[in-house]
Structure 1
Amino acid sequence: MDEMISPVGIAVLFAGGLALFLYGIRMLSSGLKKASGERVRLLISKVTGNSLYGLLAGAFASMVVQSSSTIIAILVGLVQSRLMSYSQALSVILGAEIGTTAMAQLVAFRLHDYALIIFAAGFALHSLGKTEPLRFSGEALSGFGLLFFGLKLMSEAVAPLESYAPFLSLLRYLENPFLGVAAGMLLTALMQSSSAFIGILITLALQGVLTLEAGVALLLGANIGTCITSVLASAGMQRAAKRVALSQVLFNVAGVLIFFPFIPQFAEFIRALSPSAESFGAGRLAHEVPRQIANAHSLLNIFMALLFLPFLSLFDRLVYRLLPDDPEETRLIPAVWYLKESALSTPLLALSYVRAEVARMGSIAAKMVRASLYPFINSDLGHDVVFPRLSVIKGMSMREEKLDFLESRISDYLIKITRSSLNEEESREVFALMNIVKGLESIGDVIETLEGKMLEKKRGVESDLSQAGKDELMEIHNLVCLEIEELAHALKQMDRVRAGALLEGEERFKRLVEQAEVAHLKRVFLLPEAEITHDIHMELIYLLEQIHHYGKSIARSIVNVGEG
């Protein structure tokens, strides 16, 4: 028998089967996600402080997506974008670990012989379906059939090895729990798919060459190995997002530590719960172990989720202690400093808090404007003036996010103030502050255009701006910076005199713009390289003009506050 085995043939057949299995999972996941639209992400993001709802939402979402790693990666993104708190994510993590066991249960049903029929039915539904939900369901069904066909090919590849002594000796090493856990962890981390690894386990079990004890040890290792996706997803993100990945790691490591000493007893318990076969030897193993592995996977994760659920608040504090907030990183996160809900009953006090927050917005906008031209006149990334760890571009992006956040919060707060009884002066100030906040946010949007569309255009142009062109742009830019910085000072006290001064001197700005445009057009006629950068040069002037006009509009709103 040994002489008849072709290692190359087995490897090719197994690799092909694994590829079809993985592609089938991807098709199944894709079809289900399309059929459910954004409802999975919305479901997760809407989870409140109710831990049980979070657990159920995580389990459902993981069953739909067929990947706990994908759900954890979504959680990392939601926490990073502050659509969900880290504490809310904990219960969803527990549910995701339960939901991912559904794949093992499906694979253990031995539908190999019907794989192509299922695939054909799904293909027909996808091709002939009149509505999108039907077509997406067909895609999911095709993937379901394809993963079973891949599993059948893997099973056929492994079949000749069931009496191959070297292979059986290798599997016997996995009877050692330490080696089994290590192998499961390493292989799952390399494949970045616990579903694929469990599919391989069940393939081996179908040939009667894998015992339940070895399968349990490999499952425990796979639970740790699957964390690699969330760890990679959280790299470079804020501490709160990293705590999501750390929680999954700690949760699964705890499961290994709890179950590892009792693998033989746990295996016996699973055997007692699972159907038994009448045959003996390898035939009995092939019949019983696939279902037992699937049941072990489900019970292990359900037990751990139910064990942790009552203690999530304690676990939350533990993870926070292990990975506390970084004070400097906290300063990068958009937050309200001054607004207080308790002040809404006293409009005069509430408006003073709004003025303080608006003045802070003005300071943030001034820093953005000062940095806005840097990427166009320098070849290096530079460093943010307040946060040296950030490049100039990342600093602008961070502040634009803050302006968007503050505009939303301050506008909502001002609307709440209007529900109180306001006198004429207070009503006028609320209206002016709304215009100011919108103007400051619009300045941020202009700079976002600068760092987005304009920088992309600059990278696509081989030639650089001429030195004369840079000098002209810097002169206009410096004047705009001085205006916005003076505006920020005026906002601190709602100083009408300073704001009024900004409304004067319009002629100087117009003259600088006209001179820059004329000088640039002369260069376009004389220098071929100036023609290449013509669009960028004129767009930069136009965007600086927009900032200038928004500044004037804000100054006009400040002046209007005190006018009766």
Structure 2
Amino acid sequence: MTIFDVLNVAGGVALFLYGMNIMGSALEKLAGSKLENILKGMTSSTIKAVVLGATITGLIQSSGATTVIVIGLVNSGIMKLSQAIGIIMGANIGTTVTGQIIRLSDLSGDSLLLKLLTPKSFAPVLAFAGAILFVFFKKPKQRNIGQILLGLGILFIGMFTIEASVVGLRESPTFVHLFASLENPILGILAGILVTVALQSSSASVGILQALSITGMVTWSSAIPIILGQNIGTCSTPLLASIGASKGAKQSALVHLYFNVIGTLLFMVGLYSAEHLFGLSFWNNIMDKGDIANFHTLFNVVVTIAFLPFTGVLAKLAQMTVKNTHQDEPILDIPVLDERLLTSSALAIQQSRSALEAMSAAVKTNYIEAMALLSNYSEEKVNVINQRESVVDRLEVSLNNYLIKITAKNLSKPENKVVSHLIYLVTQFERIGDYAVNIMERSGEIFDKSISFSAMAKNELGVLVDAVIEVLELSISAFKENNPQLASRVEPLEETIDIMCDTLHEQHINRLKQGQCSTEGGVVFLEILSDIERISDHCSNVALNVIGTNTTGEFDFHKLKKELHSGNTESYNELLKHYKDKYFDKLANP
């Protein structure tokens, strides 16, 4: 084998990987958003999920891609770990499709039909047809189909290039010795892992092994550990994708790892025990492309079927490795708005209230955790906040749609009023969540730029944080209990927070002028104040809405606020003094 053969092998591998990559990405584009919807919608049973995982992976030609999508769904709270396991197991079966396609190159015969069916005949045609569709057509669907055909053609051309370059290896003593050493199962498995990690695709590494089979040196005893190792190596992509993700996402990646590692070990023990005790007649026989493809498929199907009754064990192992805490669980639970309850408007309204209560709890938690990030930044906490915000955003859409469907029913006047009240509150709580995320983003800026606040600024923020937590708790409790008395305590506290923000704004400007704070730090501090003030404003809107819902006749928010702020309401003035004493007086005077 000359240096030119080595260069040709490198070029063939490049074409093979490129063809697989563009074919897979085009298939994903063709599926579009339906891919995630299908994954979410057909996981009611483990067997369904396995079939779905195998089908999706067979289409997009990548078990890693399927598992990464699943990790994304678990990370965002759309899918639970129990739903993900079946898809992950099925993905291992789906990834064997590539090998079965490649085995077509073993077809031989003198008939015209067989010659046309061989990849050497149709691969150039596929590539040419794909190029025509991709280059000369403008519609996305036609271009995607062209890219799929082009990718498949390039994949085969790359494989043929490898085959033509390695055919001389059968005469190489070094190559013969190398494959003989891979009959050692540990070395073979390590080789399979390393090649698959390097290529980031078990389908690609199996395809290259199939190409090497043309040398006549690939025996069952040397190829089996390599194929088993390739299944472990494919876990690297999901493991990398889970870095910085939620605990559920990390657990999904670990399920994939444990499933492949345990399956490989059990299969090895069974197979090598059978060879040792009884002897396997095929053990030292030469493998061709079809044998490699069939063994790869058989191994994954057998292991998947064997693990079907033990999906709970896999989940338990992953959860023992990455332990859940009590705080993590609510993030993943998205309230289900059951449309069957729309037949009873009272039940549907109550269900909507429960979902909105979950939404309000999520935005409050996000605010508290976002403020904590200002002094103790954590990527993991950022991810949790983003995950919770994703749930809040989806709840906003689903709640609004559900409430609109309720309005189409024959509602009583009080029910109409309650539904309007809930629609209004959905927006208020969602906006509070958005401002909490703004604060989280400011914490990232503080961390990235190594910004530090003065001791006085930290003290001021601490007092303000406590005040806003109380106004959040008051407004949420008033909504949950539908309690106008609790709601009446919100506005004086909100006015106190406004006064505090104005004072802190002025004091911080003075510190900036005196050079006690950096310009960057000053800008971030003022942005945080702005976000906090707006959260307080939305709490006021929630409370006033609760008061209005419990008021007979017409209710004017702005008129009530104007009356309260005029200073002529004794109960309001007493509460305003109470909150000023509690919070405003704690602020450090300049």
TM-score by shorter chain over 0.5: yes
Q: Could you tell me which of 40, 46, 61 is aligned with 2:41?
A: 46
1:441 counterpart residue number: 430
Equivalences for 1:45-444 in 2 at 5 Å? 45-49=40-44, 53-110=48-105, 111=119, 118-175=126-183, 179-181=187-189, 183-234=191-242, 237-239=246-248, 241-242=252-253, 244-245=255-256, 246-261=258-273, 289-305=288-304, 307-308=305-306, 312=308, 314-324=309-319, 326-328=324-326, 330-331=328-329, 333-335=331-333, 365-376=363-374, 378=375, 380-381=376-377, 391=381, 393=382, 396-397=385-386, 400=389, 403-404=392-393, 428-444=417-433
Q: CA deviation at 1:366?
A: 4.2
- Cα deviation, residue 343, structure 1: 10
Please give the alpha-carbon distance, in whole angstroms, between the structure 2 residues aligned to 1:260 and 1:563.
79
Partner of 2:439: 450
Instruction: Give the drift of 1:428.
Output: 4.0
Alpha-carbon distance in structure 1 between the residues aligned to 2:235 and 2:298: 19
How far apart are the structure 1 equivalents of 2:6 and 2:94?
Answer: 31
Relative to structure 1, the CA distance from residue 517 to residue 47 in structure 2 (aligned partners, 3 Å threshold; closer, same or farther) is same
- The answer to whether the Cα contact below 8 Å between 1:66 and 1:100 also exists between their aligned partners in 2 is yes
**Compared with structure 1, are the counterparts of its residues 157 and 137 closer, same or farther at alpha carbon in structure 2 (3 Å cutoff)?**
same
Shift of 1:560: 2.3
TM-score of the aligned structures, taking structure 2 as reference length: 0.73
Among residues 547, 552, 558, which one is paired with 2:540 in the alignment? Answer: 552
Report the more deviating stretch, 495-504 or 179-188. Answer: 179-188
CA shift in 2, pair 1:350/1:144, >3 Å: closer
Residues in 1 aligned to 2:190 and 2:498: alpha-carbon distance in whole angstroms: 71
SS at match of 2:326: helix
Distance (whole Å) between structure 1 residues aligned to residue 206 and residue 293 of structure 2: 8
Counterpart of 1:563 in structure 2 is 551
Distance 1:371 1:227, change over 3 A: closer
Whether contact under 8 Å (1:358, 1:491) holds in the other structure is no
What per-residue deviation string (whole Å, max 9, x for no partner) do you get for residues 251-296 of structure 1?
Answer: 454444454545799986899xxxxxxxxx9xxx6xx722332233
User: 1:521-540 CA distances to partner (integer Å, 9 max, x unpaired)?
Assistant: 56666759765556544433
Task: Report the CA distance shift for 1:33/1:520 in structure 2 as closer, same or farther (over 3 A).
Answer: same
Contact 2:479 2:542 in 1 (8 A): no
Change (3 A) 1:520 1:426: same
Match of 1:496 among 461, 470, 484: 484
Aligned in 2, Cα 1:153/1:497: closer, same or farther, shift over 3 Å?
same
TM-score normalised over the length of structure 1 = 0.76
Deviations 1:77-97 (A, max 9, x none): 323334334444444344323
Distance 1:119 1:427, change over 3 A: closer
Please report how far the alpha carbon of residue 297 of structure 1 lies from its aligned counterpart in structure 2 after TM superposition.
Answer: 2.6
Query: 3-state SS of the aligned residue for 1:563?
Result: coil
1:266/1:35 CA distance change after superposition, 3 Å: farther
Name the CA shift for 1:381/1:268 in 2 (closer, same or farther; >3 Å): same
CA drift of 1:335 comes to: 3.2
Cα distance change, pair 169–328 in 1 and its aligned pair in 2 (3 A): same
84-93 vs 259-268, greater mean Cα deviation = 259-268
- In structure 2, the residue matched to 1:276 is none
Which amino acid is 1:500 matched to?
Answer: S
CA shift for structure 1 position 76: 2.8
Distance (whole Å) between structure 2 residues aligned to residue 363 and residue 125 of structure 1: 52
Structure 1 position 554, deviation (Å):
0.8
Q: Is the 8 A contact 1:334 1:401 kept in 2?
A: no
Q: Does the CA-based 8 Å contact 2:82-2:315 persist in structure 1?
A: no
Which sits farther off after the overlay, 343-352 or 419-428? 343-352
SS at match of 2:222: helix
Q: Distance in 2 between matches of 1:396 and 1:79?
A: 15
- Which residue is 2:16 aligned to? 21
Matches of 2:25 and 2:334 in 1, distance apart? 39
Tell me: CA distance 1:530–1:295, structure 2 relative to 1, closer, same or farther (3 Å). Answer: closer
Aligned to 2:563: none
Letter in 2 for 1:194: S
Tell me how far apart the structure 1 counterparts of residues 290 and 266 of structure 2 sit (CA, whole Å). Answer: 25
Deviation for aligned residue 1:550: 0.4
- What's the CA shift string for 1:165-207, capped at 9, x where partnerless? 2321222233455654454345434543212221221222112
Question: Does the Cα contact within 8 Å between 1:362 and 1:491 map onto a contact in 2?
Answer: no
Deviation string, structure 1 residues 16-71 (Cα, Å, up to 9, x no partner): 33233222221221222223323333332221435554444323321222112221
My pick for the range that moved more, 195-204 or 362-371, is 362-371
SS at match of 1:126: helix
Q: Distance in 2 between matches of 1:178 and 1:531?
A: 60
Q: Is residue 162–residue 168 contact of structure 1 (8 Å, CA) maintained in 2?
A: yes
In 1, Cα distance between equivalents of 2:352 and 2:40: 29
Cα distance per residue 1:486-540 (max 9 Å; x no partner): 3345445433223113224665444444444455556666759765556544433
Partners of 1:373 and 1:57 in 2: CA distance: 42
| Alpha-carbon distance in structure 2 between the residues aligned to 1:490 and 1:532 | 39
Say if 1:217 and 1:263, in contact at 8 Å, map to a contact too.
no
Q: 1:424, CA displacement in angstroms?
A: 5.3
Q: Residues 25, 550 of structure 1: CA spacing in aligned structure 2 closer, same or farther, 3 A cutoff?
A: same
Which residue type is aligned with residue 188 of structure 1? T
SS in structure 2 opposite 1:333?
helix
Which residue type is aligned with residue 290 of structure 1?
A: K
Letter in 2 for 1:298: T
DSSP-derived class of the 1:450 partner: helix
What is the Cα deviation at residue 100 of structure 1? 1.7
| Structure 2 counterpart SS, 1:503 | helix
Distance (Å, rounded) in 1 between the aligned partners of 2:81 and 2:457 = 49
CA distance in 1, matches of 2:259, 2:499: 60
Change (3 A) 1:176 1:502: closer
Helix, strand or coil at the partner of 1:328: coil
Distance 1:223 1:478 in 2: 52
Q: Distance in 1 between matches of 2:84 and 2:279?
A: 29
Q: SS at 1:108's partner residue?
A: helix
Aligned residues: CA RMSD:
4.5
Structure 1: distance between partners of 2:489 and 2:290: 80
On the 8 A contact 1:188/1:197 being kept in 2, the answer is: yes
Contact 1:407 1:438 in 2 (8 A): yes
How many residue pairs get aligned? The number is: 531
C-alpha contact (below 8 Å) 1:19/1:150 kept by paired residues: yes
Residue 429 of structure 1 deviates from its aligned partner by 4.3
Secondary structure of residue in 2 paired with 1:318? helix
